[in-house]
Amino acid sequence: MPNSALTGTHHHGRHHHGHTDAHDDHDHDHGVTIGTDDPDHPLWERDQIVLTSVGIDIGSATSQLLFSRLTLRRLGRELSSAFAVVDKRIVHESAVALTPYAEGLRIDEERLTALVDQAFQDAGIRADEVDTGAVILTGEATRRSNARAIADLFAARTGRFICATAGHDMEATLAAHGSGAVARSERDGARVLNIDIGGGTTKLSVAEAGTVRSTGALHLGARLIVVDASGRIVRLEPAGRRLALSLGLDWSSGDQVHAAELAELAALMADTVVATVNGTPAPLDGLDWLRLTEPLTEHGPYDAVVFSGGVAEYVYGRESREFGDLGPLFGRALAERSGRLPGPVEDGGGTIRATVLGASQYTVRVSGNTIHISDPDLLPLHNLRVVRPEVELPETVDPSSVAEAIGTHLARLDADPADALVLGFRWSGLPSFPRLDAFVEGIRRGLSARIAAGGPLCLLFEGDIARTVGGILLDQGLTVPVISVDGITVGEFDFVDIGAVLPKSGTVPVSLKSMVFSL
């Protein structure tokens, strides 16, 4: 990747910002300076951290950056106490630009780098003033041949960015948070359906009481077909061609198409979305291939239906410009069918900017007396993505149920056995040996593919059971390295750094980085 704003050197410590009017001039402590190898840094003792963060969203159709100021406050007096985001403020929004593609199946690295550099320049923020950030690739952008390499480069060259290449279900979950659907469901105890439509895919999610209960995705998006001012096709994705064929339209790149034909195609797309969220048959036979995931497991009626993504701008009538794609026709067709949706349409406010603000970051110390690290030479580990299976722990724990919950959750998140993950669990009930032994057996079964890949197996627990779990795994014959840490509360969109054991105190520094949403 060419040199860019994200490859600059970061100068740790306190410094003064001289930003534009959107950035108040003030000194602040950068959370990134609490290094996993710097236990004596004075910020260990601080109760408040202010971070400058950036969220970079690279999607099928558009890419954008959001710069924010995040304030974190320690929740307790101990150095192991977590921090919470108590204030978040957007300080700059970049222009929403079309994601640049090169010939073939590649994202244009040079043009993407230029887009990022321009956003930093417009924000009046230097690379060395950014503490944390998140890079998210979604939709068709994830299927480009160099997509993951670009995301990893952004993350690796800064050392301060978490990176996620979102599969369909993760993208749907991200959209539910970014659009405000999850916040709305938590605030009002409501059931909210979020429909997020981008350039290549439509993501569906059901949020209830602050939790995403079900997700799904369809291969329907605004930029499956793009025409120039004369109506000639300049971009035709395979899914767009196949969908057109279902209407008897045998299109190829370079063909001339008529406005009425595009409107007919957009109407079919809207009818398919409406049928899917209602759980009714598709408007035409032979459209099962449009479903990219299993159907939603939750069904209406809903207290609210919220649209997000680029097409939402047309659903809500906030955008009138045309970019040669199906966005305007698709959005208006959905608006015309709003009465057939399984709930009243509400404006969540997220729409095209239903993305992350960036990432919060803080570090805690965990006592070395309560954890299990079978091979200390493996540490430090960086940017482990947290996954949190919902495991039921009745009085008699069933290993098969634990294994099934873990396997189902990993499948929903499109997790690969080779991915750098840490599994987070909430323990409840008595820590008796029979219960723990059954629980650990379930973990071992549920993570069998990861174990076969050679590990290491990284586990986090809210309860004080990490050392015991590590010992039981060894007793059950596990041969891959195990890193088991407790006293840590994590969420679904967290990333974790686990530092090396500090020789003086015997503690282990754990840095938690969390995606932060604007709504």
For the domain that residue 234 is a member of, what is the CATH number?
3.30.420
d(CA 222, CA 269): 10
Residues 344 and 439 in one domain: no
CATH number of the domain to which 10 belongs: 3.30.420.40
d(CA 76, CA 394): 30
DSSP notation for 142-154: GGSTTHHHHHHHH
pLDDT score recorded for residue 78: 57
Give the chain's length.
Answer: 519
* Dihedral sign, Cα of residue 458, residue 386, residue 449, residue 145: negative
Nearest to 200 by CA among 144, 154, 259: 144
Residues 324 and 390 in one domain: no
Q: What is the DSSP letter of 502?
A: P
Nearest to 459 by CA among 428, 493, 498: 498
On the 0-12 / 13-18 / 19+ scale of CB atoms within 10 A, 335 is middle
Find the domain containing 398 and state its range. 369-500
Return the H-helix or E-strand segment holding 115: helix 109-123
Nearest to 63 by CA among 223, 228, 203, 181: 223
Residues 223 and 300 in one domain: yes
In a domain, 510, yes or no: no
Q: How do the pLDDT tens digits run along the chain, 519 residues long?
A: 555 555 444 333 333 333 333 333 333 333 333 343 444 444 444 567 788 888 888 876 778 888 888 887 777 655 555 677 778 788 888 888 888 877 656 778 788 888 888 988 999 988 778 887 777 776 655 655 566 666 665 655 455 666 666 677 777 888 888 888 988 999 999 999 999 998 888 999 999 998 888 999 999 999 999 999 999 999 899 999 999 999 999 999 999 999 999 999 999 999 999 999 999 999 999 999 999 988 998 889 999 999 998 899 999 998 888 889 999 999 999 999 999 999 999 987 655 555 555 565 656 667 666 788 888 888 888 888 888 888 889 999 999 999 999 998 888 777 778 788 899 998 888 889 999 999 999 999 999 988 998 878 999 988 788 899 999 999 998 889 999 988 777 877 788 888 887 776 667 778 777 766 654
Looking at 399-456, list the stretches that DSSP marks H as alpha helix, in order from N- to C-terminal side: 399-412, 433-446, 448-452
pLDDT score recorded for residue 6: 53
pTM for this predicted structure: 0.67
Residues 25 and 146 in one domain: yes
d(CA 167, CA 106): 18
In a domain, 172, yes or no: no
pLDDT score recorded for residue 11: 38
Where does a domain end: 323, 351, 379? 351
Residues 458 and 323 in one domain: no
Cα atoms found within 13 Å of the Cα of residue 178, Cβ hemisphere only: 26
Residues 55 and 24 in one domain: yes
Residues 154 and 14 in one domain: yes
In a domain, 508, yes or no: no
Decide if 406 contacts 440 (C-beta within 8 A). no
Residues 161 and 278 in one domain: no
In a domain, 357, yes or no: no
Residues 117 and 191 in one domain: no
Looking at 316-398, list the stretches that DSSP marks H as alpha helix, in order from N- to C-terminal side: 327-336
In a domain, 317, yes or no: yes
Residues 324 and 241 in one domain: yes
In a domain, 206, yes or no: yes
In a domain, 513, yes or no: no
At residue 238, what are phi and psi to the nearest 5 degrees? -55, -40
pLDDT score recorded for residue 179: 85
d(CA 508, CA 226): 53
Return the H-helix or E-strand segment holding 356: strand 356-366
HEC per residue, 277-311 = HHCCCCCCCCCHHHECCCCCCCCCCCCEEEEECCC
Nearest to 439 by CA among 467, 410, 473: 473
Residues 325 and 377 in one domain: no
Q: Which residues contact 307 (CB under 8 A, 6 or more apart)?
A: 179, 194, 195, 196, 197, 315, 316, 334, 345, 348, 351
pLDDT score recorded for residue 14: 32
Residues 138 and 189 in one domain: no
pLDDT score recorded for residue 287: 95
Instruction: Say whether 7 sits in a helix, a strand or coil.
Output: helix
**Domain count of the fold of the chain:** 3
Q: Which token pair is 251?
A: 């299109």
In a domain, 505, yes or no: no
pLDDT score recorded for residue 76: 65
Q: What is the DSSP letter of 33?
A: G
Where does a domain end: 351, 382, 403? 351
